[in-house]
Amino acid sequence: MSGRILLATRNAGKLVELRRMLAGFEIVGLADVPEFPDAPETGATFAENALAKARDAAEATGLPSVADDSG
């Protein structure tokens, strides 16, 4: 397993924050992987939307992925 983790965002500030928290891992953002279609946000909560986004990103890229949806 690689130490590469995808943060499913294009927000540079979020990438900086996660890179600080997870020193020792290579944290990449959506700009660093091939583009894939955004799924519609159909969850009833921010947490459901974040989980769906992370799952889609992991499936599309093969990388362990995390996401957030702060609205």
Residues classed as catalytic? 69
Please say whether the beta carbons of 65 and 2 come within 8 A.
no
Burial grade of 65 (CB within 10 A; 0-12, 13-18, 19 or more): buried
Kindly report the backbone phi and psi dihedral angles of residue 53, in degrees, each rounded to the nearest multiple of 5, phi listed first.
Answer: -65, -45
**Residue 26, SS3?**
strand
